[in-house]
Structure 1
Amino acid sequence: MTGSVKRSKPDSAAGEDPRGAPTGRRLTRAEQARATRRRIIAAATEQFIAHGYGATLLDQVAERAGVAVQTVYFHFGNKRTLLKQALDVAAVGDDEPIPLLERPWLRQLQQETDPRRIIQLWLATSRTIVERVAPLMRVVRGATGTDTELAAQWDTNQHQTRTAHAVLAQLLANRDALKPGMDIDQARDIAFVIANVETYLQLSDVCGWTLDQWQERTGVILTAALLSPDRHP
């Protein structure tokens, strides 16, 4: 534990939109509930990163969020679900019900014709996601040895990330950019192993790589590993 816990501003039925910005109008119940969930997730993210999964207490999360602990249980049920929801928000950057692979960044990739540029744009988005998600993934990884449900959550996240990298492989294959003899499944797995958040954590925590170094060097590695020699210098 580090320092005392300060109480955040309590729930308000007026004056804020769900993102916490002043509106000058009374919020609907749905907007109030959404604003409350956002504050709880933000408080939980802070506590999980600061103290780890086991040492984070829901009453402290509630205090940070300015709500009763019963409100935390009402919205999330338990600490594992709260961590999962925090990860989901971190992955996409908000709580809008729009899957990551249905967002504008992917449409930009689909319009790109240069395979090297596709890899660069993919990693630019990956960097943004990794920057948000990596601190919480450290929390999950640290608890996998003692919590079977969090171990399953880690595995689920890995499988989802592997599946997502099939999109990159398909984009490159559609442009006849993959190395001769390399199929989409092979390209997906190579990209997943090289560019997923677990690899980033190893390079960051063990090797001391910065995010800038990770993005640049991973781009070089992916280009060399995936693209046909005639598609890159």
Structure 2
Amino acid sequence: MAEVKGRNRRSVQTRRRIIDAAHKLFVAKGYAGTTFQDVADAADVSVPTVYFHYGTKSGLLKQVIDVASAGDDEPVALLDRPWFAELKRANDPAVLIRRWVEASATILDRVAPVLAVVHSARGDAEMEAQWTRNSEERRIAHGTFVQIMAESGTLRPDLTERQATDITVGLLSPDLFLVLTRECGWTTTQWETWTAAQLAHNLLPPAQAPAS
């Protein structure tokens, strides 16, 4: 039993080294420029080991995105994590928005640079599928946030949940995050402050939106 646990622990550590190496390489060299040999060398494993765990380069990139989104490789969905349960208990809608933006910033710091790699390779059919899948997952997550606001009666009455989700998806998109933090030189904290203010202005009734 101890031997099996030891093997499992080593396997987890190997996968994490591969994912860490692949994340850095994809961001630095792009999708086409990163090879399994590069990843194997950086992770100090053999190429067959990378193939064994992930099969294809697109499969490896998908796992890199999943781990970057969640912050770890535990098999727990993003919306089933403790921080989300805590977020749902926020009574003040402005606090709920701020916490959602803060959580999104933490995720975008990790995942937006990798999604930029997917975006740049969208002529590839597998990358197109990856981009579509990730877009759908982001919409589901932001839609869940909007649903919480709607069920608590804090959403602006002239907005449908779909419209509110559209606004949230747009303001918290990885594209806009990268434009402001990379091209414009904003800090993540500046992005959080601006995005929270914009969300509150657009989603809350005027009487509930905090003063700018």
1:173 to 138, 150, 158: 150
Rg comparison, structure with higher value: 1
Output the amino acid matched with 1:182: L
Matched, 1:126 2:104: yes
Provide the residue aligned with 1:102 in structure 2.
Answer: 80
Name which of structure 1's ranges 87-96 and 186-195 shifts more when overlaid on structure 2: 186-195
Provide the residue aligned with 1:93 in structure 2.
Answer: 71
Provide the residue aligned with 1:223 in structure 2.
Answer: 200
SS of residue paired to 2:45: coil
Cα distance in 2, alignment partners of residues 211 and 115 from structure 1: 22
Cα distance in 2, alignment partners of residues 112 and 204 from structure 1: 28
Any stretches of 5+ residues in structure 2 without a counterpart?
Answer: none
- TM-score, scaled to structure 1: 0.85
Cα distance in 2, alignment partners of residues 206 and 32 from structure 1: 40
Provide the residue aligned with 1:188 in structure 2.
Answer: 165
SS of residue paired to 2:33: coil
1:6-85 equivalences under 5 Å are 27-85=5-63
Cα distance in 1, alignment partners of residues 46 and 171 from structure 2: 43
> Would you tell me which structure has more helix in proportion to its own residues?
2
- TM-score, scaled to structure 2: 0.93
Count of aligned residue pairs for this structure pair: 209
Alpha-carbon offset, residue 141 of structure 1: 1.2
Higher relative contact order (CA 8 A, sep 6+): 2
Provide the alpha-carbon RMSD of the alignment: 1.7
Cα distance in 1, alignment partners of residues 117 and 93 from structure 2: 35
Output the amino acid matched with 2:105: R
1:199 to 176, 201, 204: 176
Q: What is the aligned-residue identity percentage?
A: 44
Alpha-carbon offset, residue 201 of structure 1: 2.1
Cα distance in 2, alignment partners of residues 225 and 133 from structure 1: 25
Alpha-carbon offset, residue 75 of structure 1: 0.6
Matched, 1:210 2:152: no
Output the amino acid matched with 2:172: A
